[in-house]
Amino acid sequence: PARYFDTSTTEPVSFFLSGLEELLAWKPDGNDDFNISSVPLGKRQPPLRSERPRTLVCHDMRGGYIEDRFIQGSATRNPYVFYHWRYIDIFVYFSHHTVTIPPVCWTNAAHRNGVPVLGTFITEWTDGEKLCEAFLAGGEEAFGAVSRQLARIAQHYRFDGWLVNLENTLSAAAVRNLPAFLRRLTAEVHNSVPGGLVIWYDSILQNGVLRWQNELNGDNRVFFDACDGLFTNYNWKEEHLQRSRALAGPRHTDVYVGVDVFARGDVIGGGFDTNKSLRLIRQHGLSAAIFAPGWVYEHLGEENFLQNEDKFWGSLAEYLPTHSICTLPLATCFSLGMGTSRFLDGKEEEAGPWYDLSTQEIQPLYPEHEGRLSTSCYLQDAWSGGSSLRVQGIIPPGEEHVAIRLFSLQMPAPPKLFLTLLYKLEQPDPEEVTVMLELTTWDSGSCHEGSITSVPEPNARHHPRFLPAPPPGLAKLLNACPQGSNGWTSRCYELELQDCSLRDLSVLVSRQQLSVQETPFALLLGEVRVLDAAKVAAAPPQVQSVSASQLWWQ
């Protein structure tokens, strides 16, 4: 069927639903198995429901369902990718189709990085008025059927809820039922999707008139009270923020203040001035909704996209609280889910562009320190997938080393850890610097490295012990330990900790001899793994009852 498969290539595609009839007629279908997310939502700290102001990203690009609709990937040159997941809390996939089901590749990539994904339920113009009249003015049975279907769709495809965006005037009968519909939808989503969310877009007033308010106020509060949050329109000033904060009370982090990166209309700042908007939003303790950050790709072009993307998110980093990983194992080869070639074990397997966000790996923090340190995606060489992480910087005069923070961690340390690292040094010579992993722990009187008799480490920085060969029984898992290949150096380490809590994972670049001059360095990181030794040693469960379906031979 054309909805589920591309008519020219027969490949499975992600899809949307148009109109009320399609929504109400939807039911699970064997043909749409490809569209079900295969990656459960990863845990992270702090959790979404914490008191901290949040960051929502609303992705709106060229009508949606472009190259990202191909579930098994495509040969797209220079595609749009998002990878600053550590900095955001919620990802919304937006289009102007009535029911926007997020393409499954986005859900997979976001979930792997611990970010929930929302679809969009939208009505607009006169068609939207008719649609709303049909399901809202009809009373509880009619709007109950819509809320039930939306919740079932999120549950079936395993994404995390809805942005509700009704942008048309409502009759008195329809608007009277709107708060009840939102309450019902929110309850159904919470019930069927763990951690599910429903967010309302600031458009309609409680009297049914379509008029954007750019704030939470007495005219739209009834809708805010009926769901998990309000996404405001973009043309606000500071007084709007003050009033929203005062009215929201303890729910102030459920107000997502809209920031249009394209800076349409009368806004504080978009583009590379988006930080001006975020500064004000954070001063008032509110959450932010960054709309169409694809501006970087659409406006500045595809050529230097990755460079511009790092610059854009780097300019906002001060206002975007980051998230910590809170479960092991942590394993990543930094691949973006796209590339100009495919690599395996450090060797180019296949040349040519490819794009498949479902294969994107866990992404790091991308730290930047003006002039002294930068991290970026590198497509020309990789250990596995399509890209590696390039780290370049300088060791300042008189200093022994530089630590580049890759991940923030927040979890109790198991008694024994194995760590693995694959890297390629570009400069200087290997005789001049050493590269290794460093783990830091949260300060506590009881945290010790090694046995109970060891002395606590100063400032809780731990340098794991180098293993020249994998421990017995782990040779298969840690097979790259002694050798590496194709110019990549491989290292395995172990670290024993007592009563510690993990804080940061960094790569440490140290020089062999102290110098009064600075030492520039550049290296590629191909893979990093942090493993709980006890779990690694246990035999993995046997896979049983494998079946294959939906096969198409070409």
Say what the pTM is.
0.96
Cβ-based neighbour number of residue 21 at 10 Å? 12
Single out the residue of 1, 58, 63 nearest to residue 35, CA to CA: 1
Q: What is the pLDDT of residue 513?
A: 86
Q: Domain for residue 65, yes or no?
A: no
Q: Positive or negative CA dihedral for 53, 88, 182, 123?
A: positive
Instruction: Select the more confidently predicted residue: 475 or 390.
Output: 390
pLDDT reading at 507 higher than 60: yes
For range 415-442, the mean pLDDT: 93
Strand partners, 74: 355
Q: Are the beta carbons of 531 and 482 closer than 8 angstroms?
A: no
Give 506-530 as a DSSP string.
EEEEEESS--SS-EEEEEEEEEEEE
Instruction: Select the more confidently predicted residue: 9 or 108.
Output: 108
In a shared domain, residues 335 and 315: no
Sorting pLDDT into bands at 50, 70 and 90, what band is 180? very high
In a shared domain, residues 284 and 426: no
In a shared domain, residues 203 and 139: yes
In a shared domain, residues 269 and 350: no
Q: Are the beta carbons of 431 and 512 closer than 8 angstroms?
A: yes
Instruction: Select the more confidently predicted residue: 23 or 369.
Output: 23
Q: Are the beta carbons of 256 and 233 closer than 8 angstroms?
A: no
Q: Domain for residue 513, yes or no?
A: yes
For range 129-158, the mean pLDDT: 96
Instruction: Select the more confidently predicted residue: 161 or 542.
Output: 161
For range 336-357, the mean pLDDT: 96
In a shared domain, residues 303 and 414: no
Domain end, chosen from 296, 324, 352, is at 324
Q: Domain for residue 519, yes or no?
A: yes
Domain end, chosen from 268, 294, 324, is at 324
For range 389-410, the mean pLDDT: 95
In a shared domain, residues 163 and 218: yes
Residue 120: alpha-carbon gap to chain centroid: 18
For range 361-373, the mean pLDDT: 88
In a shared domain, residues 318 and 263: yes
Sorting pLDDT into bands at 50, 70 and 90, what band is 30? confident
**C-alpha span between 503 and 267 (Å, rounded):** 38
Q: Using one digit for the tens of pLDDT, what is the confidence trace for 145-164? A: 999 999 999 999 999 999 99
Domains of the chain: total = 2
Q: Domain for residue 42, yes or no?
A: no
Q: C-alpha angle with apex 160: 108 to 252, nearest 5 degrees?
A: 125
Q: Domain for residue 15, yes or no?
A: no
Q: Are the beta carbons of 507 and 435 closer than 8 angstroms?
A: yes
pLDDT reading at 169 higher than 60: yes
Q: What is the pLDDT of residue 139?
A: 87
Read off the CATH number of the domain in which 498 is found.
Answer: 2.60.120.260
**C-alpha span between 492 and 471 (Å, rounded):** 10
For range 408-421, the mean pLDDT: 94
What 3-state DSSP class applies to 248?
Answer: helix
Instruction: Tell me how far CA of residue 477 lies from CA of 49, 392, 484, in angstroms.
Output: 37, 30, 14
In a shared domain, residues 166 and 273: yes
Instruction: Select the more confidently predicted residue: 495 or 371.
Output: 495
For range 163-181, the mean pLDDT: 97
User: Residues with Cβ < 8 Å from 289, sequence gap 6 or more?
Assistant: 56, 57, 58, 231, 232, 256, 257, 258, 259
Q: What is the pLDDT of residue 298?
A: 97
In a shared domain, residues 102 and 246: yes
Q: Using one digit for the tens of pLDDT, what is the confidence trace for 443-485? A: 777 788 875 545 555 568 888 888 877 777 676 666 656 566 8
**C-alpha span between 421 and 175 (Å, rounded):** 58
For range 108-125, the mean pLDDT: 98
> Exposed, middle or buried by CB within 10 Å (0-12, 13-18, 19+), for 96?
middle
In a shared domain, residues 307 and 334: no
Q: Using one digit for the tens of pLDDT, what is the confidence trace for 189-226? A: 999 999 999 999 999 999 999 999 999 999 999 999 99
**C-alpha span between 201 and 415 (Å, rounded):** 48
Q: What is the pLDDT of residue 369?
A: 80
Q: What is the pLDDT of residue 117?
A: 98
Cβ-based neighbour number of residue 403 at 10 Å? 17
pLDDT reading at 539 higher than 80: no
Q: What is the pLDDT of residue 467?
A: 83
Read off the CATH number of the domain in which 240 is found.
Answer: 3.20.20.80
Domain end, chosen from 324, 343, 359, is at 324
In a shared domain, residues 406 and 482: yes
Q: Using one digit for the tens of pLDDT, what is the confidence trace for 54-71? A: 999 999 999 999 999 999
Sorting pLDDT into bands at 50, 70 and 90, what band is 431? confident
Q: Domain for residue 76, yes or no?
A: no
Q: Domain for residue 371, yes or no?
A: yes
Sorting pLDDT into bands at 50, 70 and 90, what band is 331? very high
Print the domain residue range for 179: 87-324
| Main-chain phi, psi angles of 486, to 5 degrees | 55, 40
How many Cα atoms are found within 13 Å in the side-chain-facing hemisphere of 177?
Answer: 21
Q: What is the pLDDT of residue 479?
A: 63
In a shared domain, residues 180 and 266: yes
Q: Domain for residue 4, yes or no?
A: no
Instruction: Select the more confidently predicted residue: 408 or 480.
Output: 408
Give me the chain's average pLDDT, please.
93
Q: What is the pLDDT of residue 473?
A: 66
